[in-house]
Amino acid sequence: MKEKTEAMASVSVKRASPLLRVEDLKLYFRTTQGVVQAVDGISFVLERNQALAILGESGCGKTSLARAILRLLPRNVHTYSGRVELDGVDVMPWSEERFRREVRWSKISLVAQAAMNSLNPVLKVGDQIAEPLIVHKGMDKKDAWARAREAAQIVGVPTDFLQRYAFELSGGMRQRAVIAMALVTNPDLIILDEPTSALDVLTQANIMNALKGIKREFHKSFFLITHDIATSSELADHVAIMYAGQLVEWGTAEEFYPNPLHPYSQKLMASVPRLREERKLDFIPGRPPSLINPPKGCRFAARCPQRFSQCDQEPPLVEVAGGRLVKCWLYK
């Protein structure tokens, strides 16, 4: 696994140490039915000023991966292991307090799933955006508000909206406010967990444009979690496909979108509707495997149209042309 991540690193711009390097990250949950292997040995590298899109269907562990990176763990954690390196420093051994102070919102901030609901209903939007500054930097309210106003301008929230309460804002405005909240402490990396789900297409486009602007002007990195392939293509420099707790494919956006390699990726891309095209939407028969007791060998084998005998064994992460990685026996 180690050499694989180095292979991935070599694909990106060479630097002494990448912004974020994740190695063999595991996050298992304990449930009454057994242990859920939500994130099962994931490795990747994310450089500065890059956006990595994680694609996958619901329940494949995308959100758990984001939480594992930010160490936002629920109570029923069974296993939490691996390396999370920030600027070359492994932060896994850090204490919860140090992690809270030096990582969350200082280096990495999160736009959580259902972000529209992640605004405190009893705080004014401005207070809410300023809150991470007050919490983290101990800034006084006036300065924090000034910064909140700047952040709101960047994402396109009119300044007078800051005096309102969350329920007085539209979904898109709330989403922007949450992104402003993630931006306000000026972190290097922003994890966006489905930032445009539950929004209409125009609002989606607006928000994606705002994110692109932020990436261009402020040189932020994004870790974009989505199941919306079309949206992801707007922002992503790299794409990673996640299936049943594992990464099954990794590559640059230019190479991935026209030509997905893994059978699952191909099926995923085929399920995207296109305008004015007489085509039956493809879908994948069967269900994703249970993460409590995942099948031996390739986890996609049961649903894969191209499976063959070797699929009973765990496939390796194969490097193919152009530095792309794919976890499939077909490319060995």
Query: Which residues of this chain interact with other proteins, rule CB under 8 A?
Result: 70, 72, 75, 100-101, 104-105, 109-110, 112-115, 117-123, 131-132, 135-136, 165, 167, 178, 181, 185
**Coil, strand or helix: which one is 325?**
strand
Please identify, using beta-carbon distances, which residue of 132 and 263 lies nearer to other proteins: 132
Please identify, using beta-carbon distances, which residue of 60 and 125 lies nearer to other proteins: 125
Provide the minimum distance between the beta carbon of 197 and other proteins in the complex, in angstroms, as a whole number: 13
Provide the minimum distance between the beta carbon of 192 and other proteins in the complex, in angstroms, as a whole number: 13
Under 8 Å between Cβ of 315 and 258 = no
**Coil, strand or helix: which one is 148?**
helix
Provide the minimum distance between the beta carbon of 211 and other proteins in the complex, in angstroms, as a whole number: 18
Please identify, using beta-carbon distances, which residue of 174 and 327 lies nearer to other proteins: 174
Provide the minimum distance between the beta carbon of 10 and other proteins in the complex, in angstroms, as a whole number: 32
Please identify, using beta-carbon distances, which residue of 120 and 159 lies nearer to other proteins: 120
DSSP symbols for 6-55: HHHHHHSPP-SS-SEEEEEEEEEEE-SS-EEEEEEEEEEEE-TT-EEEEE
Tokens, residue 177: 């406010």
For residues 130 and 145, what is the distance between their CA atoms, to the nearest angstrom?
Answer: 6
Provide the minimum distance between the beta carbon of 95 and other proteins in the complex, in angstroms, as a whole number: 13
Please identify, using beta-carbon distances, which residue of 116 and 261 lies nearer to other proteins: 116
Query: Taking phi first (over 0 means left), then psi (-120 to 50 degrees means alpha), and beta for anything else, what does residue 292 get?
Result: alpha
Tokens, residue 256: 């991935």
Tell me the residue type at 15. Answer: R
Please identify, using beta-carbon distances, which residue of 10 and 120 lies nearer to other proteins: 120
Instruction: Give strand ranges (E) for the chain.
Output: 20-30, 35-46, 51-55, 77-86, 89-90, 108-111, 189-193, 221-226, 238-243, 246-252, 317-320, 324-327
Please identify, using beta-carbon distances, which residue of 5 and 221 lies nearer to other proteins: 221
**How many C-beta atoms lie closer than 10 Å to residue 48's C-beta?**
16
Please identify, using beta-carbon distances, which residue of 184 and 248 lies nearer to other proteins: 184
Q: Per-residue b/e over 149-169, b at no fewer than 16 CB within 10 Å?
A: bebbebbbbeeebbebebeeb
Provide the minimum distance between the beta carbon of 38 and other proteins in the complex, in angstroms, as a whole number: 16
Provide the minimum distance between the beta carbon of 293 and other proteins in the complex, in angstroms, as a whole number: 27
Provide the minimum distance between the beta carbon of 121 and other proteins in the complex, in angstroms, as a whole number: 6
Directed axis angle between helix 201-218 and helix 171-183, to 10°? 20
Based on the number of CB atoms within 10 Å of its own CB, is 29 exposed (0-12), middle (13-18) or buried (19 or more)? buried
